[in-house]
Amino acid sequence: MKKVYLDNASTTQLRPEVVREMTKVLAEDFGNPSSTHSFGRNAKSVLELSRKSIAKILNVSAQEIVFTSCGTEANNWILRSAVRDLKVKRIVLSKIEHHAVLHTVEHLQKEFEIQVDYVSVKPNGEIDLTDLVDLLSQDIKTLVSLMHVNNEIGTVLNIEKVGRICEQNNALFHSDMVQSVGKLVIDLKTTSIDFMVASAHKFHGPKGIGFAFIKKNSGLQPLFFGGEQEKGLRPGTEAVHQIVGMAKALELSDANLATERNHIQGLKNYLIAQLEIEFPAFAINGTLDGIDTILNVLLPFPDTKTSMILFNLDMKGIAVSRGSACQSGSIKPSHVLAEMLSKEDLKKPSLRISFSHYNTKDDIDLFVAALKTI
Ligand code: PLP
C-alpha cells in the first residue's frame, strides 16, 4: 500500500541536504561553541554563520535572532517576559491562536492578573482589524499577539497592516510565524514588529529547534539562567547540529520558494477541483486565498462519520488531520473551527489537508479515492 503524507502543517519531512549537513556537523563539528580552543571556535563559527543566514533571509540583523528549542518555547518566553519585565498590562489576541499562545496567555492572566482581550474573528477565519483598532484605543500598555498563518485553516494575516496599527497605538506586536516561515516571503525590515517565532520542523528542518526574532533594545529578559549562550537570553549549550540543520532548511526553502509554491498551489487547486467533482456539497473552512500549504474542508458526510474518519483514512495509508497534531487524537472539536462554524457543522467531519513540495497529484487521487470509501 502506498502511503500518502498530507499532514505537513503538523511536521515535514527533512530535506536530504539537511540530513547531510547535520550528520557532518554531528561527526566533525562537535566542539562546544563556548570553548575558546579551536574545536570550540569552529563550532561557534558554524553557529554564527547559521544565525547570519537566517537573519539575512528575514532581513534583520543577526543579533536579533535567538535560538530556542522550539516554537512553543519561544512563544512562552516572549509572552511571559513581556508581562513580567516589559510591564505589559494587557494582551490582545484571537481565540484561534495556537495553544502555545492561547494557553500561555491564560496562565499569565491568572498569575499576573493582566487584562486579556480577544479580537473578533470573521466567519471566514480572518481577523477583524476594525475590531483590533477599536480595542487598541484603550490607554493601557498592550502587546498584540496574532499569528501570521493559522495552522488549522491557513488564513494569512496582513502583518504589515497589523504592525502599522500597533505602532500607531503604541502597542507591542508579537507574531507566531511557525506556519509561514519558509513558505512565504517575509521581510521584517518593512514590518513594524517586535517579536516573532519560527520552528524548523515545519519547513523541512529538524524537530527540537526554533528561533525567535527579538527586536534590538526590546528589553526582553531570559526565562531561565545559566551560561552566557545567546547573550544570556537563552542559556544552555547550543544544539549546533540542529541549528545548522534549521539554517540549511530555511536557505533551501528560500531558494526554492517560487517553484515549490507553484507546485503546491497546483496541488491545492487540483484537490479543490476533485472535491468539487466527487463531493460538490463540500465547503472550505477559511478563505480561498489562504496559504497554499493548508486546505481545511467541511465534508458533506453525516455526523456519525466524524469520530472514525481519521482512523479509516489511516487504514488506507492516508495521513491527514482534523486540526493541530496536539489535538488530533481528541474528540473535542477544534477550537479554531468552533469560532467559525455553526453547532451543526461543527459536528460534521472537517479535515485539514496540508501539502509540501514532496506531494504529487497521485497523492491527491489516492486521498480522494479513499474519501469515496468512507
Ligand atoms: N505555533 C504554530 C502556529 C504551530 O503550528 C505550532 C506547531 O504545531 C507551534 C506553534 C508549536 O511549535 P513547536 O512544535 O516548535 O513547539
pLDDT (tens digit per residue) in 290-310:
999 999 999 999 999 998 999
User: pLDDT tens across 196-231, in order?
Assistant: 999 999 999 999 999 999 999 999 999 999 999 999
Q: What is the DSSP string of 35-74?
A: --SHHHHHHHHHHHHHHHHHHHHHTS-GGGEEEES-HHHH
The answer on pLDDT for 330 being more than 90 is no
Pocket test for ligand 1, best of 175, 179, 181, 203 (most atoms within 8 A of CB): 179
Mean pLDDT for the stretch of residues 42-50: 98
On whether both 266 and 242 belong to a single domain, the answer is no
- Domains identified in the chain, total number: 2
On whether both 213 and 166 belong to a single domain, the answer is yes
301 CA from centroid of ligand 1 (Å) = 30
Cell numbers found for residue 297: 474542508
On whether both 26 and 173 belong to a single domain, the answer is yes
User: Is the model's pTM score more than 0.85?
Assistant: yes
Cell numbers found for residue 91: 494582551
On whether both 225 and 270 belong to a single domain, the answer is no
Q: Are 213 and 188 in contact (CB under 8 A)?
A: yes
Q: Which of 221, 237, 255 is the last residue of a domain?
A: 255
On whether both 67 and 113 belong to a single domain, the answer is yes
Give the atom of ligand 1 at the shortest distance from the alpha carbon of 210.
15
354 CA from centroid of ligand 1 (Å) = 14
Q: How confident is the model at residue 324 (pLDDT cuts 50, 70, 90)?
A: low
The domain that holds 97 is classified in CATH as 3.40.640.10
Mean pLDDT for the stretch of residues 112-131: 97
> Could you tell me what percent of the chain has a pLDDT over 90?
95
Mean pLDDT for the stretch of residues 340-364: 96
On whether both 189 and 315 belong to a single domain, the answer is no
What is residue 322's predicted lDDT score, i.e. its pLDDT?
A: 84
What is residue 294's predicted lDDT score, i.e. its pLDDT?
A: 98
On whether both 78 and 209 belong to a single domain, the answer is yes
- Domain, as residue range, for 234: 16-255
Question: What is the number of other CB atoms lying within 10 angstroms of the CB of residue 135?
Answer: 20
What is residue 329's predicted lDDT score, i.e. its pLDDT?
A: 53
138 CA from centroid of ligand 1 (Å) = 31
Q: Catalytic site residue 326? A: yes
Q: Which of 231, 255, 279 is the last residue of a domain?
A: 255
331 CA from centroid of ligand 1 (Å) = 20
Give the amino acid at 329: G
Q: Which of 233, 255, 277 is the last residue of a domain?
A: 255
**Ligand 1 pocket list (CB less than 6 A):** 70-72, 98, 100, 147, 151, 176, 178-179, 199, 210, 324-325
C-alpha distances (whole Å) from 281 to each of 49, 276, 336 are 51, 8, 22
